[in-house]
């Protein structure tokens, strides 16, 4: 059975206000009826029945209609049917106030459930769906206001200070500051330079900027995030799927038990002397049993718990692609980080140029020309350096990429190799031996088979990289590793800085895959891999939980990953694990609460101690407590 408590979550505010009117009418009529009953004012025949029927219909009629619809679709066991049978039965045995009360409190419970689920959905949507409805595009040299969907890739758009960016694009005008809170959850402005990517949803804070549009409206980073959050609700956690299957079996069983509560004492009374069977008493116990048995507390609060976890994570820039990954991340005991762009800023600067050619400028022209179409952070750094030095780049042809090594290209009639020293070794080109010993990043170059020189670049750890490692250790995750294609000396140096003893360098993409496979060979390892590049996609897919850096990460990594960190902060990995653990803990609290209270009241109802009032608490009361408990996930700080 599925609880339909969320089916009004898309209602307008006006409709939501109207939802409370029937409950208010029923509550007033119920209270007035109980007062009249107390003073014995119901003197005419059937006057009490008529009064309580009027009190019942505002809240009972919608439920009776749902029960009838269920019958038409051969859904005999759902909470609407349970409530209808229980309350009509209460009227049949003269327990009018209790029949009205059960339906009234059930309806109030439904309204609270609707509100909780609707609130969680609206919070996430309001947090993320901040795409502007207009864009200022420059056409024929003039600004023109249009819908962002009509802007084509390659056009230029203008954003004034205080306006939100409608489309992804590259910065065309110097340097500007942007508020990235909608995407990353961080309130601190971020400075973006010319040529760097600006994402839809950011807000220009200090001046008018122009962007060259890089992606259509429906493929922007923000559109992708919204799609991920919407899809996340379709991917259910194992606990959630189990509860759904359990409810389908549980409901018919308790309905059968309710029938047996009436039938078995009757059969026993046929053969037992001295046993006084009173049909009304046993039917009342059966009805109490039915009210208690409604599994709404479980069916509503558990999905709400996972939805709350996804919402809480979204608020701080972490996107879980489903409740199943919230569950999976709680089991992680091994975290493996990529290095460049994940633990380090990925913002390289050229520190030194060594050339055997006629000038440094000639070497720089060859290297920058070869790297001009690459999206790698090292290539960006070389391009910026060449632009600062006013180097005119040459056209490149016959490009051959050697994964993990570099490029072989033809420039101005010359055959040029650009990459790490391993590339030159591969083609038997001799070079100074001290290049292999350097602990910094080297981009070596050879022209027409002869060594031509190198660029030395450096990268720095992200501000919170050491915090990320420290927080993971605080969560009792001690198996932390770094994998990188950089030289072992560089990776070991970073590992020592961050407190990670297992740091592995000189790995090609297939080397990373082999390393993860060797870790997975031990079933005790539950692995999360954290990366950002295209070459990380295979290991993100292989690991138990793949975590991608979403701000500057490649589309391939983001699509493959199970969790996306929007602000590229590695410390958010620990926050994601904390949210997963908090969600799981609250979900299990709700399961134990619902089962514990229901079991106790079921037993009391079966032996005639519990009344309809206790039954109402066991159903609606427990559902409300479970929902309030689930909402706690969104209120906590991570």
CB neighbour burial string for 559-585, b if at least 16 within 10 angstroms, e if fewer: ebbbbbbbbbbbbbbbbbbbbbbbbbe
Q: Do residues 310 and 635 lie in contact, with contact meaning Cβ atoms separated by under 8 Å? A: no
Could you give the CA distance from residue 322 to residue 190 in angstroms, rounded to a whole number? 29
Could you give the CA distance from residue 359 to residue 357 in angstroms, rounded to a whole number? 5
Report in angstroms the alpha-carbon separations of 437 from 69, 202, 424, 434, 489: 76, 43, 15, 5, 8
Which region, left, alpha or beta, applies to residue 162 given φ > 0 means left and ψ of -120 to 50 means alpha? Answer: left
Could you give the CA distance from residue 212 to residue 204 in angstroms, rounded to a whole number? 15
Please give the backbone phi and psi of residue 514, each rounded to the nearest 5 degrees, phi first. Answer: -60, -40
Q: Which token pair is 522?
A: 């031990």
Active site (annotated) includes residue 536 = no
Q: Which token pair is 100?
A: 């009205």
One DSSP character per residue, 382-443 reads: HHHHHHHTTPPPPPEEEEEEETTTEEEEEETTEEEEEE-HHHHHHTT----THHHH-SSEEE
Of 587, 584, 629, which is closest to residue 331 (Cα–Cα)?
584
Q: Do residues 499 and 353 lie in contact, with contact meaning Cβ atoms separated by under 8 Å? A: no
Report in angstroms the alpha-carbon separations of 396 from 38, 180, 387, 423: 95, 36, 17, 19
Supply the DSSP symbol for 179. E
Among residues 327, 338, 536, 619, which one is catalytic?
A: 338
Q: Which residues are catalytic?
A: 338
């Amino acid at each position: 059975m599925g609880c339909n408590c969320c089916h009004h979550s898309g209602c307008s505010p006006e409709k939501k206000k109207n939802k409370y009117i029937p409950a208010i009418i029923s509550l007033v009529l119920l209270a007035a009826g109980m007062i009249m009953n107390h003073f014995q004012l119901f003197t005419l025949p059937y006057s009490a029945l008529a009064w309580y029927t009027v009190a019942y219909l505002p809240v009972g009629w919608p439920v009776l209609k749902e029960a009838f619809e269920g019958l038409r679709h051969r859904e005999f066991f759902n909470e609407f049917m349970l409530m209808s049978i229980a309350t009509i039965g209460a009227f049949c045995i003269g327990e009018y106030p209790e029949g009205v009360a059960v339906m009234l409190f059930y309806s109030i419970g439904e309204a609270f459930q609707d509100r909780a689920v609707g609130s969680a959905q609206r919070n996430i949507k309001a947090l993320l769906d901040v795409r502007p409805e207009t864009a200022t595009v420059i056409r024929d040299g003039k600004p023109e206001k249009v819908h962002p969907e009509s802007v084509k890739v390659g056009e230029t758009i203008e954003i004034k200070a205080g306006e939100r960016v409608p489309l992804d694009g590259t910065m065309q005008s110097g340097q500007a500051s942007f508020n990235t809170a909608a995407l990353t959850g961080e309130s601190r402005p971020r400075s973006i330079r010319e040529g760097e990517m600006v994402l839809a949803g950011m807000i220009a804070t200090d001046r008018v900027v122009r962007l060259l549009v890089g992606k259509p409206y429906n493929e922007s980073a923000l559109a992708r995030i919204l799609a991920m959050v919407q899809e996340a609700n379709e991917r259910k956690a194992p606990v959630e799927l189990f509860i759904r299957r359990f409810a389908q079996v549980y409901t018919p069983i308790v309905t059968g038990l309710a029938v047996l509560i009436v039938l078995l004492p009757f059969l026993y009374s046929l053969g037992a002397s001295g046993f006084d069977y009173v049909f009304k008493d046993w039917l009342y116990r059966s009805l109490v049993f039915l009210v208690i048995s409604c599994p709404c507390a479980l069916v509503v609060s558990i999905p709400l718990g996972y939805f709350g976890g996804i919402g809480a994570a979204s608020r701080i820039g972490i996107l879980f692609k489903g409740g199943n990954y919230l569950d999976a991340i709680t089991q992680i005991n091994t975290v493996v980080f990529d290095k460049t762009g994940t633990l380090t800023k990925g913002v390289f600067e050229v520190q030194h140029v060594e050339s055997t050619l006629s000038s440094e400028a000639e070497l720089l022209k060859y290297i920058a020309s070869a790297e001009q179409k690459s999206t790698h952070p090292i290539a960006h750094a070389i391009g910026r350096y060449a632009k600062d030095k006013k180097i005119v780049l040459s056209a490149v042809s016959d490009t051959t990429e050697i994964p993990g090594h570099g490029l072989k290209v033809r420039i101005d009639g010359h055959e040029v190799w650009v990459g790490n020293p391993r590339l030159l070794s591969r083609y038997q080109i001799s070079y100074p031996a001290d290049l292999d010993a350097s602990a910094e990043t080297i981009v070596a170059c050879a022209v027409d088979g002869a060594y031509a020189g190198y660029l030395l670049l450096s990268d720095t750890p992200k501000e919170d990289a050491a915090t990320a490692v420290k927080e993971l250790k605080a969560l009792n995750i001690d198996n932390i590793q770094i994998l990188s294609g950089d030289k072992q000396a560089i990776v070991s140096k970073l590992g020592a800085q961050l407190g990670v003893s297992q740091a592995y360098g000189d790995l090609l993409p297939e080397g990373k895959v082999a390393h993860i496979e060797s870790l997975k060979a031990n079933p005790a390892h539950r692995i999360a891999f954290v990366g950002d590049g295209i070459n990380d996609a295979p290991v993100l897919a292989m690991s138990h939980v793949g975590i991608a850096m979403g701000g500057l990460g490649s589309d391939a990594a983001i699509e493959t990953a199970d969790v996306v960190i929007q602000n590229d902060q590695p410390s958010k990995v620990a926050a994601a694990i904390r949210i997963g653990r908090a969600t799981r803990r609250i979900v299990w609290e709700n399961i134990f609460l619902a089962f514990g209270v229901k079991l106790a009241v079921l037993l009391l109802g079966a032996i005639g101690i519990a009344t309809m009032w206790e039954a109402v608490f066991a159903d609606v009361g427990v559902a409300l407590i479970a929902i309030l408990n689930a909402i706690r996930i969104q209120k906590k700080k991570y």
